[in-house]
Amino acid sequence: NAGVMQNPRHLVRRRGQEARLRCSPMKGHSHVYWYRQLPEEGLKFMVYLQKENIIDESGMPKERFSAEFPKEGPSILRIQQVVRGDSAAYFCASSPSGLVADTQYFGPGTRLTVL
Amino acid sequence: AQSVTQPDIHITVSEGASLELRCNYSYGATPYLFWYVQSPGQGLQLLLKYFSGDTLVQGIKGFEAEFKRSQSSFNLRKPSVHWSDAAEYFCAVGAVSGGGNKLTFGTGTQLKVEL
């Protein structure tokens, strides 16, 4: 059973470009979480999605960031007009349900570098 | 709002020595507590979790953690450290938010193992 897949693993963008990060959850998981890890910091929650729905986006910056989890295909975290402060590792996690008791399984992350 | 404090940023132990990583949490209700480990360039792997019941929780790789409500702590322990345990360790508290389980992480403890 494949784990959570994220691609690309490394992404380099120049200021002002768009970044698209993809996350394929584990088979059978319909709940996806995105977290951001800034250098020397812990992971911070960004958004929680179920298929075709954004459930909680309380951790998402108000501008330039968006997320989706379509009926078919991976979840996408999109950052428009990237700035140097967006440089971070972005992790996706999935779980079979949204229950607190559920384990969240993490992908290997996408390391975004903004030049 | 919930929070997690890991007071030790770096810890160095000799191989074969015992280990204790500290974690203090703040949460208004019964906490759901987790320890994850992150190897360089990798995603997070769950070591153990606590929801209720026995306050001493056994995890993978020989790790255990003890929940102490009176001290708001959930310290991670291992009797004898192996060189392969060198990694970064994150404590997290889970809270139901918007219908899903949002994890709040501490800033992590970097473990170095001396041979």
Widest distance between CA atoms in chain B: 46
Q: How far is B9 from chain A (nearest CA, A)?
A: 9
Query: Which among A41, A43, A23 has a CA at the least distance from the CA of A32?
Result: A23
The residue ranking higher by pLDDT, A98 or A79, is: A79
Q: Tokens for A90? A: 């972005």
At A46 the three-state DSSP class reads strand
Taking only the tens place, the pLDDT of each residue in B23-48 is 999 987 778 999 999 988 788 999 99
What average pLDDT does the structure give for chain A? 93
Task: Find the mean pLDDT for residues B73-101.
Answer: 89
Task: Find the mean pLDDT for residues B65-77.
Answer: 95
The answer, for B98 touching chain A at a CB cutoff of 8 Å, is yes
Q: How far apart are CA B37 and CA A41, in angstroms?
A: 14
Taking only the tens place, the pLDDT of each residue in B89-108 is 999 998 776 666 789 999 99
Distance of CA B19 to the CA centre of its chain: 12
Q: Would the CA dihedral through A97, A100, A101, A103 be positive or negative? A: positive
**Chain A with chain B: Cβ pairs closer than 8 A:** 74
Q: Give the pLDDT confidence score for residue A81 in this predicted structure.
A: 98
Whether residue A40 is predicted with pLDDT greater than 90 in this model: the reply is no
Q: How far apart are CA A47 and CA B11, in angstroms?
A: 32
Q: Do A41 and B107 touch (CB under 8 A)?
A: yes
Distances A11 to A17, A66, A72, A111, B65 between C-alpha atoms, Å: 12, 17, 24, 6, 37
- Chain A, 12-71: which have a CB under 8 Å from a chain B CB? 31, 33, 35, 40-45, 48, 55-56, 58-59
**How many CA within 13 A on the CB side of residue A45?**
28
